[in-house]
Amino acid sequence: MEEILKLQKIIDGAKDIVFFGGAGVSTESGIPDFRSQDGLYKLKYDYPPEQILSHTFFNYHTREFFDFYRDKMLYLNAKPNAAHYKLADLEKQGKLSAIVTQNIDGLHQKAGSSDVLELHGSVWRNYCTHCGKFYHVESVANSQGVPYCDCGGIIKPDVVLYEEGLDKDILEISIKHIEEADTLIIGGTSLNVYPAAGLVDYFHGKNLVVINKGKPSKIIPDALYIDGKIGEVLSQIK
Ligand code: NAD
C-alpha cells in the first residue's frame, strides 16, 4: 500500500515523533471506543453516557455512575495490541519522544512506553475525595454500589470527567512536546473532545500523519491520511 510506504519513509527520516491518540488505539485490544459503530454511545442507557461521565452526575447520582463505570469503563485484563507495541518500540529506538493520550486504560505503559501523558487520567489510580488516600483499582472494581474510604469519603477514579479541567502540568508538557516535534502521528481519535483535540494545533513540524478508521471530525490540512485499523497499519512498519 502506497500510504504505508510513505509512512515508513516519514518514520525513517524522523528524529522527534509525538503520537497523539484516543480510544480507537485500544479497540483492537477489545476496549470499545465512544463514537464508532460498536462504541459506547450507540448503546442504550437510562442517561446518555456523556451525562453519566460528568462531574455533576458523579455528585448527584454517584451509585449509578459507579454501576456504569465498573461495567463499561474497566477492562483490567485487556492487553496491548500491535499499535501500543510499535509505539513503545519507536520510543526505545529514540525516535518517539512522547505519547499524548486521551485514553485512561494504561495500555501504553503495559506495552513498555514510559513517556506517556495521560490527558484524561487513568483508571489505575483512585483517591479518596476526602482524605486523599490512594486506592488500587481493585478497590473500585470489586466494590458494590459506591466505594468508600476508611475515613468515610468516596473513592474517586483519577479520570477527568466532563465538566472537569485537565491537569495543567500535563497539558503544558504535552504542548511543549507537540511544539518541538518534527512529526506528529494522530491515531484512533474522532478529535471531538476539547480541550484535548485542540492540542494538535500546536504542531508546526514537518510531517503530520493521521491513522484512523474514517475521518476525524476536525480537518487536519496537509496530513498523510491512512484510513485503517491502527494496529494493522503500525504492524507493517519496520
Ligand atoms: P472516540 O470514540 O470519539 O473516537 C474514536 C475514533 O477512533 C473514531 O474516529 C473511530 O472511527 C476510530 N477507531 C476505532 N477503532 C480504530 C482502530 N482500530 N484504528 C483506528 N481508528 C479507530 O474516542 P476519542 O476521540 O478518544 O474521544 C473520546 C473519549 O473517550 C476520550 O476522552 C477518552 O478519554 C475516552 N475513552 C477512552 C477509552 C480508553 O481508555 N480505551 C475508551 C473509551 C473512551
Residue 4 cell numbers, joined: 504505508
**Residue 34, ligand 1, Cβ within 6 A:** yes
Average pLDDT, the chain: 95
pLDDT of residue 79: 98
d(CA 76, CA 140): 12
- From residue 74, alpha-carbon distances to 31, 32, 98, 101, 122 in Å are 9, 11, 25, 17, 10
Q: What is the arithmetic mean of pLDDT over 199-213?
A: 96
Ligand 1 contact, 192 CB (< 6 A): yes
- Rounded distance, CA 209 to CA 225, Å? 6
Question: 42 pLDDT exceeds 80?
Answer: no
Please give the distance, rounded to the nearest whole angstrom, from the Cα atom of residue 11 to the centre of ligand 1. Answer: 23
Q: Does 120 qualify as catalytic in the annotation?
A: yes
Whole-number Å distance, alpha carbon 188 to ligand 1 midpoint, is 6
DSSP H helical segments within 46-166, as ranges? 49-52, 55-60, 62-72, 82-92, 107-110, 137-141
pLDDT tens, position by position, 156-168: 999 999 999 999 9
Mean pLDDT of 70-86: 96
**Considering 120, 130, 177, 204, which one is annotated as catalytic?**
120
Q: How far is the CA of 221 from the centre of ligand 1 (A)?
A: 21
Ligand 1 centroid–CA 134 distance in Å is: 28
29 CB within 6 A, ligand 1? no
Separation of CA 151 and ligand 1 centre (Å): 36
Reduced to 3 states, what is the DSSP secondary structure of residue 86?
helix
**Probe residue for ligand 1, chosen from 34, 76, 215 as the CB with the greatest number of ligand atoms within 8 Å:** 34
| pLDDT of 45 | 76
Is the model's pLDDT at 116 over the cut of 90?
yes
**Residue 2 predicted with pLDDT over 90:** yes
Residue bearing the CA closest to ligand 1, atom 31? 102
> Is residue 118 in contact with ligand 1, taking CB distance under 6 Å?
no
Alpha-carbon torsion, ordered 176, 193, 11, 204, to 10 deg: -50
Is 36 touching ligand 1 by the criterion CB < 6 Å? yes
Mean pLDDT, to the nearest integer, of 58-72? 95
Is 27 touching ligand 1 by the criterion CB < 6 Å? yes
